[in-house]
Amino acid sequence: MVRVKLWGSLRALADGEEWVEVEASNFKELLDALSEKYPGLAPQIKRGVSLALDGVIYREAWFTKIGPENEVVLMPYMVGG
Protein backbone atom coordinates (compact mmCIF):
# COMPACT_ATOMS: atom_id res chain seq x y z
CA MET A 1 0.00 0.00 0.00
CA VAL A 2 1.07 3.56 -0.74
CA ARG A 3 -0.06 6.51 1.27
CA VAL A 4 -0.88 9.60 -0.80
CA LYS A 5 -1.48 13.06 0.50
CA LEU A 6 -4.28 15.03 -1.15
CA TRP A 7 -4.43 18.79 -1.24
CA GLY A 8 -7.18 20.37 0.78
CA SER A 9 -9.82 21.01 -1.82
CA LEU A 10 -9.63 17.39 -3.06
CA ARG A 11 -10.37 15.97 0.35
CA ALA A 12 -14.07 16.62 0.06
CA LEU A 13 -14.01 14.33 -2.96
CA ALA A 14 -12.23 11.57 -1.02
CA ASP A 15 -14.36 11.13 2.06
CA GLY A 16 -12.68 14.11 3.72
CA GLU A 17 -9.37 12.29 4.07
CA GLU A 18 -6.02 14.08 3.90
CA TRP A 19 -4.10 10.85 3.45
CA VAL A 20 -5.53 7.99 1.43
CA GLU A 21 -4.06 4.56 0.88
CA VAL A 22 -4.13 2.61 -2.35
CA GLU A 23 -2.37 -0.39 -3.80
CA ALA A 24 0.21 0.82 -6.30
CA SER A 25 3.84 0.38 -7.25
CA ASN A 26 4.12 3.31 -9.62
CA PHE A 27 2.41 6.61 -10.42
CA LYS A 28 0.14 5.16 -13.05
CA GLU A 29 -1.18 2.48 -10.75
CA LEU A 30 -1.56 5.10 -8.08
CA LEU A 31 -3.61 7.44 -10.27
CA ASP A 32 -5.74 4.58 -11.62
CA ALA A 33 -6.38 3.29 -8.13
CA LEU A 34 -7.26 6.76 -6.86
CA SER A 35 -9.71 7.35 -9.70
CA GLU A 36 -11.33 4.03 -9.05
CA LYS A 37 -11.52 4.31 -5.28
CA TYR A 38 -12.58 7.97 -5.32
CA PRO A 39 -14.47 8.67 -8.56
CA GLY A 40 -14.76 12.31 -7.47
CA LEU A 41 -11.03 12.67 -8.05
CA ALA A 42 -11.16 11.28 -11.58
CA PRO A 43 -11.90 14.59 -13.38
CA GLN A 44 -8.96 16.30 -11.69
CA ILE A 45 -6.65 13.37 -12.45
CA LYS A 46 -7.82 13.37 -16.04
CA ARG A 47 -7.11 17.09 -16.39
CA GLY A 48 -3.64 16.48 -15.07
CA VAL A 49 -1.82 16.37 -11.77
CA SER A 50 1.74 16.50 -10.55
CA LEU A 51 3.16 14.15 -7.97
CA ALA A 52 5.86 14.83 -5.42
CA LEU A 53 7.96 11.81 -4.54
CA ASP A 54 10.12 12.46 -1.50
CA GLY A 55 10.01 16.16 -2.26
CA VAL A 56 10.84 15.91 -5.98
CA ILE A 57 8.01 17.11 -8.22
CA TYR A 58 7.07 15.06 -11.27
CA ARG A 59 4.62 16.42 -13.81
CA GLU A 60 3.75 13.06 -15.35
CA ALA A 61 6.04 10.01 -15.40
CA TRP A 62 3.62 7.10 -14.92
CA PHE A 63 6.22 4.46 -14.33
CA THR A 64 8.05 6.16 -11.51
CA LYS A 65 8.42 3.51 -8.81
CA ILE A 66 6.86 4.17 -5.46
CA GLY A 67 6.56 2.17 -2.28
CA PRO A 68 5.30 2.42 1.28
CA GLU A 69 8.58 4.05 2.38
CA ASN A 70 8.07 7.03 0.05
CA GLU A 71 6.33 10.30 0.75
CA VAL A 72 3.87 10.75 -2.11
CA VAL A 73 1.93 13.99 -2.46
CA LEU A 74 -0.61 14.77 -5.13
CA MET A 75 -0.24 18.30 -6.52
CA PRO A 76 -1.97 20.31 -9.23
CA TYR A 77 -0.48 20.17 -12.72
CA MET A 78 2.12 22.89 -12.95
CA VAL A 79 2.48 25.55 -15.60
CA GLY A 80 5.26 28.08 -15.97
CA GLY A 81 6.04 31.29 -17.76
Partner 1 sequence: MAFDAQAERNFKVVGTRVLRPDGIDKVTGKAAYGADISAPGMLHGRILRSPHAHARIVSIDVSEAEKLPGVKAVVTGADLAQPEDDAFSDVAINCLARDKALYDGHAVAAVAATSKSIAKQAIRLIKVDYEVLPHVTDVDEAMKPDAPVVQEGRALETVPAGMSQNVTTHCQFGHGDLEAGFAKADKIIERSFKTAATHQGYIEPQACMASLGNDGRGEVWCCTQGQYMVRANCAAALGVEESQLRITASEIGGGFGGKTSTFIEPVALALSRKAGKPVKIVMTRDEVLKATGPTISSSMDIKIGMTKDGRITAGQGVLRYSGGAYPNATVEMGAQAAFAAYNLEAVETIGWNAMTNRPKEIPYRAPGAPTAIYAVESVVDELCQELGLDPLDVRLMNAADKGTLSSYGPTFNEIGLVATLEAAKAHPHYTAPLGPNQGRGLSCGFWFNFGGNTCVSLNINDDGTVGVVEGNPDIGGSRASISMMAAEEMGVPYEKVRTVIADTSSLGFNDITDGSRVTFAVGLATIQAARAAIKEMCRRVAKIWDIDEDAVIWEDGCAKPAGPNAGTHPPMTLAEIAAIAGKTGGPIAGHHEVNADGAGVSFGVHLCDTEVDPETGAVKILRYTVFQDAGKAVHPDYVEGQMQGGAVQGIGWALNEEYIYGEDGRLQNAGFLDYRVPVASDLPEIETVILEIPNPGHPYGVRGVGETPIVPPLAAIANAVSRAAGVRMTELPMSPPRLLKAITG
Query: Residues in the site for partner 1, rule: CB under 8 A?
Result: 5, 7-10, 12-13, 18, 40, 43-44, 52, 54-61, 64, 71, 73-81
Cα–Cα distance between 5 and 58 in angstroms, integer? 15
Task: Pick the closer one to partner 1 by CB: 10 or 33.
Answer: 10
Contact 21, 3 (CB under 8 A): yes
CB of 28 to partner 1, least distance (A): 13
Task: Pick the closer one to partner 1 by CB: 33 or 73.
Answer: 73
CB of 18 to partner 1, least distance (A): 8
The conformation of residue 41, written as its DSSP 8-state character, comes to: G
Cα–Cα distance between 5 and 19 in angstroms, integer? 5
Q: Which residues pair with 76 in a beta bridge?
A: 49
Task: Pick the closer one to partner 1 by CB: 1 or 61.
Answer: 61
